[in-house]
Amino acid sequence: MSIAITGTGSYIPSLTIKNSDFNNHNFLNLDGSPFNHKNDVIIEKFKAITGIEERKYADKKYTASNLAYFAAEKAIADAQIDKETLDYIIVAHNFGDISYGHKQGDTLPSLATRVKHQLQIKNPKCVAYDLLFGCPGWLEGMIQANAFIKSGIANKCLVIGAETLSRIVDDFDRDSMIYSDGAGATIVEKKENSGEILAHESATFAIDEANYLFFGTSYNKNLNDPTKYIKMYGRKIYEFAVTHVPQAMAECLAKSNTPIEKVKKVFIHQANEKMDEAILKRFYRVYDMQMPEGIMPMSISKLGNSSVATIPTLFDMVKSGKMENHGITKGDVVIFASVGAGMNVNAMVYRI
């Protein structure tokens, strides 16, 4: 018996926002001053760095818990389990449910409870709770689910990452072009002849790094609006990620006793294409190797950065054959890795 991912599901919103849709935005610097370049130049530089061409936004009538529910339904169906047998529902997010046109996050009740309600699970011993861990939240939820099952207090867990970041961005901040919406879900259970979680690694850096991502007021100083939005120090995050994520991945792989040559895919959080490439190159440099071609599936160009939803969505797409030139088969070893607000880093080695 091993602890395995037996079902996956994802929900990708239908509303596509292209880079050109930002042409009329009034982007400002941190101090509120205008940029020296026109928007077409700003957007072109943005695309060159991040790799993002377009992103997905949720329909106005849906919130993060709705997206989570849609992904959960698919994962439950894929695993072919009775939803009443679930012991835990863990929902990773950052800002709760944010109704369209509003900025206030709603976490009362928790998003996990809302998902359980939408699934109409009657079993009161199916425990539902939320997890705040920044962008690595879904992966940390997987680590917790693994611990619950390994300890014997659970048999089946539903782990979801869901977010509507498009509703918490400052329209005057060019970083607003990074963020998107979506949800991904996985069923984790103890089962024979299935995959296996081989090792995991987590860390929190909270001295100098704690506030690299934070809540701040709009760059438009004329608004006189106390509303706060997601903000980040991009350069510091880049430097942090390329230093600490490869280290976490290497430590995790060592704990799994898996040779680097056995790794078939790396599912890494998609926040910046150049950053992800730098992380993988540094990781393989640990083993005096070049980064293998096709090792890292990328969804950021079309889906943007959907935070906790990114990795489970990406994994579901590859697993179900929805990503061209990428696939996984039984017995393949893959690595999941993420970095985000906190600053948190984690990794997991998994055999399909």
pLDDT tens across 46-95, in order? 999 999 999 999 999 999 999 999 999 999 999 999 999 999 999 999 99
Q: What is the pLDDT of residue 226?
A: 87
In order of their start, the domains of the chain are: 2-194 (3.40.47.10), 198-351 (3.40.47.10)
> pTM of the entire structure?
0.95
Lowest mean pLDDT among 140-154, 220-234, 312-326: 220-234
User: Would you give the end-to-end CA distance of the chain in angstroms?
Assistant: 14
SS3 126: coil
Contacts of 329 (CB under 8 A, 6+ apart): 352
pLDDT tens across 262-301, in order? 999 999 999 999 999 999 999 999 999 999 999 999 999 9
Prior bond of 259 cis (ω within 30°): no
User: What is the pLDDT averaged over residues 218-230?
Assistant: 89
Question: Given pLDDT bands bounded at 50, 70 and 90, which one contains residue 103?
Answer: confident
Q: Is the pLDDT at 223 greater than 90, yes or no?
A: no
Question: Given pLDDT bands bounded at 50, 70 and 90, which one contains residue 206?
Answer: very high
Q: Is the pLDDT at 244 greater than 90, yes or no?
A: yes
pLDDT above 70 covers a percentage of the chain that reads 100
Q: What is the pLDDT of residue 8?
A: 98
Please name the residue that has the structure tokens 């709603």. 106
Q: What is the pLDDT of residue 35?
A: 86
Q: Tell me whether strands 263-268 and 333-340 are parallel, antiparallel or unpaired.
A: parallel
Q: What is the pLDDT of residue 157?
A: 98
Q: What is the pLDDT of residue 69?
A: 98
DSSP secondary structure string for all residues of 162-180: EEEGGGS--TTSGGGGTB-
307 with 5: CB under 8 angstroms?
Answer: no
SS3 100: coil
Rounded Cα distance, 348 and 87, in Å: 22
User: What is the pLDDT averaged over residues 143-157?
Assistant: 97
CA angle 311, 314, 317 (to 5 degrees): 150
Q: Is the pLDDT at 166 greater than 90, yes or no?
A: yes
pLDDT tens across 295-351, in order? 999 999 999 999 999 999 999 999 999 998 899 999 999 999 999 999 999 999 999
Tell me which amino acid residue 77 is. A
Question: Given pLDDT bands bounded at 50, 70 and 90, which one contains residue 32?
Answer: confident
User: What is the pLDDT averaged over residues 109-131?
Assistant: 98
User: How high is the mean pLDDT of the chain?
Assistant: 95
Specify the DSSP class assigned to residue 291: P
